[in-house]
Structure 1
Amino acid sequence: MSSYLVDVVDRNEIHLVGLSIVESLNKVMETKIGGQLREELERRQSEVANRVGSGMYLIQVYPMDGHWTPDVPYRHIFAYEVDSLARIPADMVSYTLPAGRFIKVVHKGAESRIGKTYDFINETYGARPIDIEYWSDIHALENEDSQIDIYVPR
């Protein structure tokens, strides 16, 4: 049994700019499109004006009816935090995460084993409208000492 660092945090509203797709988890895993979008966004980071910090977010917005399975398409947003939405590249999207209280679960270890962390989150907190992942260093995601912060609404 793995143990997880879990905390309750209050987060301010944050604005994000990046790339988005609507696809099922199974299709994302099969095609590796998530990694491709993450790498594309990093290559194009200079196009994202008003960036805050160097970390990248993955926002996963699930269907409103709560009947999510790995075969149901949902929205994936790979994005950088910005302090202004004034300039958004034409082929990118903006997204605003509302302020609120979140459960923060820290996944330690390789990203390829994050499924076990999500099993814990699903068993403990159930269905939810959104998950937020924060990657401080996308180049270290497969390292054993990697850390991914996952936020779920409370």
Structure 2
Amino acid sequence: METKIVTLAAFHVVGYRIEATVEEFEAGLRQSHYDKLIEKKNEIKHRKNDQVLLMQLYPSHEDFDAKVDPFTHLLCYEVNNTEGVPPDMIIHHMPARSYVTCTHRGIETEIGDTYDDIYGQWLDDAGHVPECYDFEILDERYQPESVDNEIEVYVALQS
């Protein structure tokens, strides 16, 4: 797995917020909200591009377990301006931050292995501490059921 550290400027996203466990999210909430977001993308004024972001915001308590505890999922688009947001969508601000990033290659159901590599091995080896969120960029390479699928993964790092 090839990783690099990047620093991103602050940015805003607009889309849907879902509170759920991983299992609940994967059991249908993800696909239904993804489809709805794609269907309504032209209603999002000032959309920066067509890349869908899947953000995962985790509680900061020590005993949090993403497999059993609910947390916040955002399916969204980055925007240049937060005016004119559709009434059923939210605005979320992302601060300027450094991230470790890599490309997950392969079917989407195996992306947990990529996260395990980052959170389990890479962070320890590199001496970094994760912040309480990460995100994925789903662009033109996103083919969830294909071995040719590619998803950019970003894990926020504490300053």
TM > 0.5 between the two?
yes
In the alignment, which residue of structure 1 is the partner of 2:54?
A: 58
Residue 151 (1) aligns with residue 148 (2): no
Residue 43 (1) aligns with residue 39 (2): yes
> 1:66 touches 1:128 (CA, 8 Å); kept in 2?
no
Residue 135 (1) aligns with residue 138 (2): yes
In the alignment, which residue of structure 1 is the partner of 2:126?
A: none
Shift of the 88–66 alpha-carbon distance from structure 1 to 2, 3 Å rule, reads farther
Rounded Cα–Cα distance in structure 2 between residues aligned with 1:120 and 1:59: 18
Rounded Cα–Cα distance in structure 2 between residues aligned with 1:49 and 1:99: 23
Q: Which whole-Å deviations, capped at 9, do the CAs of 1:13-59 have from their partners, x for residues lacking one?
A: 11100011111112222x22111111110011111111111110011
> 1:59 touches 1:130 (CA, 8 Å); kept in 2?
yes
TM-score norm. by structure 2 comes to 0.88
After superposition, residues 102-141 of structure 1 pair within 5 angstroms as: 102-124=99-121, 125=123, 128-137=131-140, 140-141=143-144
Q: CA deviation at 1:138?
A: 7.3
* CA RMSD of superposed structures (Å): 1.6
> 2:15 touches 2:37 (CA, 8 Å); kept in 1?
yes
After TM superposition, the structure 1 stretch with the greater mean CA deviation from structure 2, 138-147 or 100-109, is 138-147
> 2:141 touches 2:151 (CA, 8 Å); kept in 1?
no
TM-score norm. by structure 1 comes to 0.90
In the alignment, which residue of structure 1 is the partner of 2:63?
A: 67
Q: Which whole-Å deviations, capped at 9, do the CAs of 1:90-137 have from their partners, x for residues lacking one?
A: 110011111111100210111111111111122023764001111113
Residue 90 (1) aligns with residue 52 (2): no
> 2:138 touches 2:152 (CA, 8 Å); kept in 1?
yes
> 2:58 touches 2:133 (CA, 8 Å); kept in 1?
yes
